[in-house]
Amino acid sequence: MSTTRQAFICGMIIAAALSRILPHPPNFAPINAIALFAGSYFADRKLLAFAVPLLAMLLSDSVLEMMTGWGFHSGMWVIYGCIACTTLIGLRVLAVRTIPRIACCSILASLLFFIVTNFAVWVSSGMYPHTPEGFVACYIAALPFFQNSLAGDAFYSVVLFGGTVVAERAVPSLRQASSVQM
């Protein structure tokens, strides 16, 4: 991978992560899309595939903490773990990028994030009783956020993957043999 291409991909990920500081609906965020994108585009550089999205999220969390006081929280390790798992999905499934694969992986990443983070809320927050009813109540209360997650993951996947295809067509030095296939 050329240095120009690598810098472009890192820049896309950092820009997407920093978009979290803009006003947006709850959970309409680039988290899963940047992890899938990094896994897919850094498949030959596995350390970068994990490090770039995690560091970009840490950067955006730091900015959010400085601006609002809401960047760091006790559940960060769960979110960062989901980012690592989603990056792994990008590494394994998106070696060949097609629109259906990207769409399926985006939905899978949203589901993974929803299931894992809400389980962590149920287990550790004290907001819900540790009963089957509390478990169900936790997931029901999270459904509006899941809807926004799906929309955000779809939006940012289109921006990152689609934007890269457009940039590759416009700038020859960004091209690589594999790209999104129609």
List, for residues 106-127, the tens digit of each pLDDT value: 999 999 999 999 999 999 999 9
Give the pLDDT mean for 81-85: 97
Q: pTM of the full predicted structure?
A: 0.91
Burial level of 52, CB count in 10 A (0-12/13-18/19+)?
Answer: buried
Q: What is the pLDDT of residue 179?
A: 47
What is the distance between the alpha carbons of residues 133 and 69, in angstroms, rounded to a whole number? 33
Task: Determine the pLDDT at residue 140.
Answer: 97
Strand partners, 98: 181
For the chain, what percent of residues have pLDDT higher than 90? 83
Domains of the chain from N-terminus onward: 3-173 (1.10.1760)
Query: Which residues neighbour 65 within 8 Å (Cβ) at sequence distance 6 or greater?
Result: 71, 72
More confident residue, 181 or 113: 113
| Nearest Cα to Cα of residue 149 among 98, 115, 110 | 110
**Half-sphere exposure (CA, 13 Å, Cβ side) for 56?**
29
In the predicted structure, residue 181 carries a pLDDT above the cut 70 = no
pLDDT band at 84 (very low <50, low <70, confident <90, very high): very high
Encode pLDDT of 39-67 as tens digits: 999 978 889 999 999 999 999 999 999 99
Summarize the confidence of residues 136-142 as an average pLDDT: 97
Dihedral sign for Cα 6, 11, 12, 13, please: positive
